[in-house]
Structure 1
Amino acid sequence: MAKVKYYYDPETLSYQQIEVRKRDKFKNTVIGLIGVVLVAVLGFVVLSQFFESPSEKATNRELENSNLHIELLGKRIEELTSVVEGLEQRDNYIYRTYFEANPIPDEQRKSGFGGINRYKNLEGFNNSGMITDLTKDLDVLSKRVVVQSKSLDEIVDLAKKKEKMLASIPAIKPIKNEDETRMASGFGMRLHPILKSWRMHNGMDFTAPTGTPIYASGNGQITRANRSATFGKVVYIEHGYGYKTVYAHMSKIVAKKGQKVKRGDLIGYVGNTGRSAAPHLHYEVHKNGRPINPIYYYYGDLSPEEFIAMQKASQELRQSFD
């Protein structure tokens, strides 16, 4: 039953009943309904900010899972890129140098793709930026692999014509991997352990126990096998084609001057003779009378991963052993 409302009439000094017209009743009812609807909608909007529907939860879980897979794929691409970079360096500084072929410029190896927007279909999504960057990196990596593959095909053709040259080039480490304690110092400016000054270190130092076998890194002829004040007991090998190698601080020399050796032949043993701080082998590679970094001449021994690890260690500015 509707509540009856009254008002006080000062003229008649009595209360009079308020009569509500039907139009006003309808108007008030409509306003009330609109208010209820607005309150309900506002409540739903507010609550939806704090609570997810089952479908929203499933969608968000799927999105998080997709982002995780994208991140993992990105890390995998980075790892593969590092391996490819190692192959490219060895290709430019070893293989193509051996056969007097011009190195492949970085611009050619790492160039992207011009022209129309190749990635337009990846736009308009929540993670479009991440997916686009990943796709670009993958495209560039794929192109680098193709360029490297074609380069190796070219090298194979050159190698067939220069088998003798390949056998002569210093292509293995002079100490076996299992005998080496560590790669102590690389090529470049290093602190001399005795003179205590920074000097150019023209080779690489490999620490190993005294008496560890040392092997010729390529075919050639022994041109020196004696003692010097700086290198102690030292062996020089002329390989031909402009290459020469030096093996210093030996405890004992096995090879004789004038002797012809093949890659892998025993020439002496690790020692601590001459100006040396500890038992190790100091090893140098020379090309056309100029010392060059030996790290690019271990392609017969190291995997791409091992090459990258050695390269990082050789670049550390540490004290040399001689």
Structure 2
Amino acid sequence: MAKVKYYYDAENLAYRVIKHTRRKKIGVALLFLAASALFGFLCFVVLLNTPFFETPKDKLQAREIENLKINYEILNRRMEQVNEVLADVEERDNNIYRTYFNASPIPEEQRKAGFGGVNRYRELEGYNNSELVINTTKKLDIISKELVVQSKSLDEIAKLAKAKEKLLAAIPAIQPVKNEDLRQVASGFGYRSDPFTKIRKFHAGMDFSARTGTPVYATGDGVVSAADNRMSGYGNRIVIRHGYGYETLYAHLSRFKARPGQRVKRGDIIGYVGSTGRSEAPHLHYEVHKNGEAINPINFYYGNISAKEYILISKLANQENQSLD
């Protein structure tokens, strides 16, 4: 049974029953429902923003964020390892590769130069893990730039290596007659007695005594510039231009196996030993020229003889005996 409520009527000095109209009852009920709904909504919002109430979706997102953090940490460690390897390559590049090929080292400030100007990472700001993402992105950008610099340096080294390879192949580096085909080193570079006049004069090459028809080899890569007998006293002679200022001459040949304009490689047979021209016996007269000046061929046999053989040939070549031409 509902409670009966009274109010005091001051005019009549009596208590009277409070009578509620239907409209008022409905209004009160609606007000109560509205207040309850608002209170419930506020409680729901509070619960959503507390760690004590997580939906399955929130839990999934939290796990994904945690996995991303772990992946970023692993990526950072790997980038540190890459950076260590790159630093080692850079050190070898500056102190070994570029030094060997006479190239200037790349300055450290050029390798480690940063990125100036506008903020490159503005779009990554404003998130919970922005600092982690920005730092990782910066490291990746720096490594990428260093790799570009190093890649260009290695491209330059590769070009220098090719040029060096051509130079090494061009320099005369072997004997023009094989040791097993030699009778002896008849005469060396320097002042020798002329076999015809017996006068002491300068001998601009080395004489290799061998049988007529013994193969004569190109001592370095180059192009045959002459294969004729137009030079007085030399008989049949071949001249090879190797480039880089080097030129070699092979004289008194019995016959040619190379022609003018032909490109030859070190070790190719270019002719055969003979005794043509001003010659006392079958032999090869061999000269090496650098920038137009005759130099001692004894310094250019490191490619196919041992140290003992070099010492023996050097002793024989340095004896002031009679030349064969």
| 4+ runs deviating over 2 angstroms | 158-161
1:175 aligned counterpart, secondary structure: coil
1:219-241 CA-to-partner distances (Å, cap 9, x unmatched) read: 00011100133100000000000
Alignment partner of 1:229 is 2:232? yes
* Corresponding position of 2:199: 197
* Corresponding position of 2:184: 182
Unaligned runs of 5+ in 1: 1-98, 102-157
TM-score w.r.t. structure 1 length? 0.50
Contact in 2 for aligned 1:159/1:166 (Cα 8 Å): no
Work out the CA distance in 1 between the residues paired with 2:197 and 2:283: 18
* Corresponding position of 1:208: 210
2:313 aligned counterpart, secondary structure: helix
Matches within 5 A, 1:148-159: none
Aligned counterpart for 1:253 among listed residues 243, 256, 259: 256
- RMSD of aligned C-alpha atoms? 1.8
Alignment partner of 1:311 is 2:314? yes
Contact in 2 for aligned 1:249/1:270 (Cα 8 Å): yes
Most deviating of 235-244 and 193-202: 193-202
Letter in 2 for 1:236: V
Contact in 1 for aligned 2:189/2:317 (Cα 8 Å): yes
1:235 aligned counterpart, secondary structure: strand
* Corresponding position of 1:47: none
Work out the CA distance in 2 between the residues paired with 1:314 and 1:230: 21
Identity value in percent: 57
Work out the CA distance in 2 between the residues paired with 1:203 and 1:100: 31
Work out the CA distance in 2 between the residues paired with 1:100 and 1:310: 32
* Corresponding position of 1:292: 295
Unaligned runs of 5+ in 2: 1-99, 103-159
Work out the CA distance in 1 between the residues paired with 2:265 and 2:233: 27
2:179 aligned counterpart, secondary structure: coil
Alignment partner of 1:262 is 2:270? no
Contact in 1 for aligned 2:101/2:161 (Cα 8 Å): no
> Higher Cα Rg: structure 1 or 2?
2
- Distance apart, 1:210 and its partner CA: 0.3
1:136-187 CA-to-partner distances (Å, cap 9, x unmatched) read: xxxxxxxxxxxxxxxxxxxxxx978611100011100011111111100000
Change (3 A) 1:315 1:160: same
Work out the CA distance in 2 between the residues paired with 1:160 and 1:178: 33
1:178 aligned counterpart, secondary structure: helix
Work out the CA distance in 2 between the residues paired with 1:163 and 1:230: 36
Alignment partner of 1:239 is 2:207? no
Change (3 A) 1:219 1:183: same
Contact in 2 for aligned 1:167/1:219 (Cα 8 Å): yes
Work out the CA distance in 2 between the residues paired with 1:219 and 1:191: 33
Q: Number of residues paired by the alignment?
A: 168
